[in-house]
Amino acid sequence: MCPSSQCSIELTSSGESIDCTGNVFAVVTCGGVPVEGVTVDFNSDNPNFTLNPTSDVTDSQGDVAAGLNIAPNTPTQDANITASATIGTQTLSTTLLVSGQCANTCSLTLAAASEIDCSGVLSGRIVCGGQPQSGLTVTFTQFPEAVATIPAATTDATGNFTTNITVPAGTALTSTVVSGTAIVGGQTVSSSIDIDFSCRATTCPCKFRLGVRGSSAPATANVVNQGVPSTVSGNINVTANQCYGRGERCDPTVDNFSISFSGATFTFNLAQGRRIRFSCIGERGATLEGTANATGSSTIQGLFDVFIGFTRSGSTATWNILATNQAGDSFSTTFTSGISSETEIEDCDD
């Protein structure tokens, strides 16, 4: 890989202060375009702040993440987290200062393959004061949500647990933060790991092009920013193209969507959207789950988990939009618009 344009790497964390476990996210772009397949190395200058994994490969969004786990009995302190990568002759590096603590006396660890294709295993262990903890239930959450199916697990006499992971067919390569949580004597213990999930389809289930007539429609959105809810009004545009290739053929490499919202004092844009999976409901409806990077005058930034629902009725459509990030920020709206002249939903045989 030897890009002609200037490349960059950006690094963010899941919160201003980390309580025992959190995450860091890196995005690699060249000329503003996400780059897939780049190895990113993570490093911490504080031994109490560990990263899981310490190295990973960017997905189609140019995204990569690592769990940031703080050792038990660690008082509030800082760590410099560095993400670095090499693309052709360009060496990229950026450092983020994070703060955190962990008053827990117990620890939960997670381990899995760096990439899981269709199915795999997640394992771990819970220890308190050096003693294994048996009979505890460990539950799992993901960001983005529901990329894979991960059942709860129970620790055995040695404190170990395993669970089988299933990735739905048609899931594109998606960098996913998996967090495990258990309750030990009233104490919540948790840990995070980044896993690249995929179960790639060689064919498309269907194809669609979706758009708003005139590239603008009035909408009212519900926003949560740093825990503060608000309602904003403005104009929105949504475009999505999944598998609708040249000559109207089904092309699995066609994958993009974007959302832009503009109000009087608030703008929110989701760009460089890439699917996790999508579906068509006859020729009148479609759903799309994916990830996109947020920009705009809003302080809500970074990687978002995005859902788009579309239902057509004649020359108009109802849209349902929900976007969330791991910090708990969100943007949601349901609105009706005219549809663009290019809007089509078809089977691949059409």
Residue type, 241: N
Domain count, the chain: 3
DSSP-derived pairing of the beta strands 187-199 and 115-117: parallel
User: What is the pLDDT at residue 1?
Assistant: 52
User: What is the pLDDT at residue 150?
Assistant: 97
Residue 153: closest CA among 103, 111, 118, 195: 111
User: Does residue 174 sit in the same domain as residue 45?
Assistant: no
What radius of gyration do the chain's Cα atoms show? Answer: 21
Give residues with Cβ within 8 angstroms of 310, minimum separation 6.
208, 210, 240, 285, 286, 287, 288, 317, 318, 319, 320
User: What is the pLDDT at residue 303?
Assistant: 84
User: Does residue 154 sit in the same domain as residue 247?
Assistant: no
Residue 146: closest CA among 111, 115, 113, 177: 177
User: Does residue 49 sit in the same domain as residue 109?
Assistant: no
Per-residue pLDDT of the chain (350 residues; tens, 9 = 90+): 556 679 999 998 887 789 899 999 999 989 888 888 899 999 999 999 999 999 999 987 888 999 999 998 899 999 999 999 999 889 999 999 999 999 888 999 999 998 999 999 999 999 998 899 999 999 999 998 889 999 999 999 999 999 999 999 888 888 899 999 999 988 899 999 999 999 987 788 999 999 999 999 999 999 998 888 999 999 999 999 999 988 778 898 899 999 999 998 889 999 888 899 899 999 999 999 999 888 766 678 778 999 999 999 999 999 999 999 887 889 999 999 999 999 999 998 76
User: Does residue 129 sit in the same domain as residue 218?
Assistant: no
CA distances for 50 relative to 68, 166, 310, angstroms: 6, 27, 42
User: Does residue 145 sit in the same domain as residue 175?
Assistant: yes
User: Does residue 122 sit in the same domain as residue 76?
Assistant: no
User: What is the pLDDT at residue 297?
Assistant: 65
List pLDDT tens digits, range 81-95.
999 999 988 999 999
User: Does residue 112 sit in the same domain as residue 212?
Assistant: no
Domain that holds residue 192: 104-200
**SS3 per-residue string spanning 144-178:** CCCCCECCCEECCCCCEEEEEEECCCCEEEEEEEE
User: What is the pLDDT at residue 134?
Assistant: 95
**Start-to-end Cα distance in the chain:** 37
CA distances for 104 relative to 70, 75, 170, 206, angstroms: 10, 10, 40, 49
User: Does residue 214 sit in the same domain as residue 340?
Assistant: yes
**pTM of the full structure:** 0.77
3-class state of residue 242 by DSSP? strand
> CA 51 to CA 37: how far, in whole Å?
20
